[in-house]
Structure 1
Amino acid sequence: MARRRWMLWIAVVAVLGGCGTDGNGPGGEGLDRQRQQARDALARYDKAVLDAGGSQRFVPVGDLTGQLGDWEPTDGDNKQALMSGLVVAANALPAPRQPTGQVVWESGATQAVPLLSADEALKQLAAAGAGGCSECVPLEVTAARLTTARIQTTRGPATAPAWEYTLRGTAARVTRVAVASSATVKVTPPSWDPYDVSAGLPIDSATTTTPSRQLTVTFTGAPNSGSQPCGADYSAEAIESVNAVVVIVIEHPHAAGETCPDMGARRTTTVDLAQPLGERAVLEVQQGLPVPLTVTA
């Protein structure tokens, strides 16, 4: 996940460095391409929901692996080992005492979910690693206990069942969400070129209210408004389906062809939906991945 955030920043820097209109301007081939990307993303997401049994209420967003505590100075390559998925069980790990657990949202809504054993969750943690650390010594798990972890979802922050792993030789612990894959929606994104500015600006998160048809999205854009050199204003367009909404951010730069410093800032813009968001996910346009959502009353 950290690698993806870095690559997204590269894409944003490429856009800001040119400050042009080819990829994110208010019209043209770039916008047409992004609309097609959005339709393709909705088709992939609709299929993922169908593959998950037609329900998408619990859709985690971001990394399902966490860390409690800091690595000690003597821990060497432990951080890289964890990111690479080099984590192994030193002995037998427990199964949950019951087959199901509860996901609890801030609104008070709950959902029963099937649970993974500590060994199954550890295998998922290892499989999610980026690899590429041949010099790293694998982390050894000596014990595990079932607890909870706060995570982001397409319906807002939630507390989910999670395994907490004790590691040999360090006080730092590792966590992994313990919900079985059968209860989640998993989207497989297409390959993409982070330097291709015509792929659009990715959004980082979204907010809305329960009855509203308006959705406010956050993203990295030009630090200044479009009335200033190298600045830009932003609008947005939504492509919708019954299961998700893809938001396209449209840049309105101060002037075409300006040479601008590679600086970005947190920006927001609001888009009108055809109907309130409801249980739908919000997706970014580049790869069609869900983003964190905050829903207020």
Structure 2
Amino acid sequence: MRTDRTRTARLLLVLALSVTGAGAAAGCGQAEADGGRPTPPARDDDRARRVADAWDGSRAAARWHEGYHPVEAVVQPPAEGLRGDDRRAYVTGNFDLRAPLPPARDKSGRVTWQDGGSLTRPLMAADRVYRTLDRNSGPGPRLTVTRAELGSMTVLTARGPTTVPAWLFTLEGYAGPLKSAAVSPSAPPEPPIGPLRPDVPTDVLAPLGGLTTVARDGRSVTVVAQHGSCDDGPVVSAHETEGSVVLSAAVTGAEDGPCTTELLGERVTVKLDRPVGDRIVLDAFTGRPVPYTEWPGAAPGRS
């Protein structure tokens, strides 16, 4: 069965919004949704091979590896965790500032990987970073910031763990600080291959909504895959090479005839033949790296 062009256009719009905020031994990983149901591989592996061939060894791949691309949240609550209503205040962005925000002494900060590589990125001022946290002036519980200072934090990136400059905000009632990265991600490189046409049916291939998690052992990735209200849900498969992991998403059980335009997202975990390592995670539909997302937006942060 084929889905209509309207649903495909809506999927493209969602992906475009998420990106703007942002060889050759091949294998085929297996995917399963959060509910644990097994799924078959996606249906256009030839496209996945073309995407891998275009990226592997390319200048775009080299530029990607040179950049700072987080694959986890760049805001970390206190290590002891938030309690009760404080969690709600954090999610809704209700903060009170009871201390001056210090100026940044330097205009740039150094991003340093565990493998010894490093990169210089513009340093964001404390007030700019604080505004990404304090997004709500409405009623409800609030978190009170009593101090801010420049420090560092560890963030998982596309090339492994890295130490980045961070603003450390002391919260009333907590021993450890809330940490928020003080540098923004690098701009993605121009891809060496273009996206598919927007009229490709979503039960053949569809764009992904973003990358939410890379397992600590690197043996699986979790992505957001979209689908409609008149199908059986999304499936995602992986085409693995030495340099990349190309994910192909599609919907199954699509019905012909009238259907609402409701767009649903679902987390899908894809198991890999070997750890991701420093391989680039790519979207077969767009031909681009899959951007990190905090879907469904349950916490403040920046991509």
TM-score by length of 2: 0.51
**Aligned counterpart in structure 2 of residue 68 of structure 1, from 72, 78, 81:** 78
Question: How has the CA–CA distance of structure 1 residues 153 and 126 changed in structure 2, closer, same or farther, with 3 Å as cutoff?
Answer: farther
Distance in 2 of aligned mates of 1:12 and 1:134? 36
Aligned partner of 1:25 among 24, 36, 40: 40
Inter-partner Cα distance in structure 1 for 2:242 and 2:98: 48
- Residues 185/141 of structure 1: CA separation in 2 closer, same or farther (3 Å cut): farther
The residue identity in structure 2 corresponding to 1:89 is L
Contact 2:44 2:248 in 1 (8 A): no
The share of aligned pairs that are identical, in percent, is 27
Q: Gapped runs of 5+ residues in structure 1? A: 1-10, 44-48, 187-195, 209-215, 221-233, 251-263, 292-297
Q: Give 1:281's aligned residue.
A: 280
Look up the match of 1:143: 147
Hey, what's the Cα distance between the residues in 1 that align with 2:110 and 2:272? 33
How many residue pairs end up in the alignment?
A: 206
CA contact (8 A) 2:282 2:290 kept: yes
Per-residue deviation at 1:76? Answer: 3.4
1:161 to 162, 165, 173: 165
Contact 1:236 1:249 in 2 (8 A): no
Q: Is the 8 A contact 1:34 1:285 kept in 2?
A: no
Q: Relative to 1, partners in 2 of residues 1:285 and 1:203: Cα closer, same or farther, differing over 3 Å?
A: farther
Question: C-alpha separation between the residues in 1 aligned to 2:291 and 2:158?
Answer: 7
For 2:180, give the aligned amino acid.
R
Cα distance, 1:266 vs structure 2? 8.8
1:235 Cα shift?
7.8
1:1-297 matched pairs, under 5 angstroms: 12-13=33-34, 16-17=36-37, 19=38, 24-26=39-41, 30-32=42-44, 35=47, 57-70=67-80, 75-126=83-134, 136-180=140-184, 183-185=186-188, 204-205=213-214, 217-219=219-221, 236-238=238-240, 246-248=246-248, 267-270=271-274, 281-283=280-282, 289-290=290-291
Cα distance in 1 for partners of 2:285, 2:273 equals 17
* Residue 143 of structure 1: how far off its partner (Å): 1.2
- CA 1:84/1:148 → structure 2, altered by over 3 Å: closer, same or farther? same
Query: CA 1:54 to 1:105, structure 2 compared with 1: closer, same or farther past 3 Å?
Result: closer
Q: Normalised by the size of structure 1, how large is the TM-score?
A: 0.52
Structure 1 position 175, deviation (Å): 0.8
Residue identity opposite 1:139 in structure 2: L
Unmatched 5+ stretches in structure 2:
1-31, 190-202, 223-235, 251-267, 293-303
**If each structure's helix is expressed as a fraction of its own residues, which one has the higher value?**
1
Q: Distance in 2 between matches of 1:159 and 1:147?
A: 10
AA matched with 1:31: R
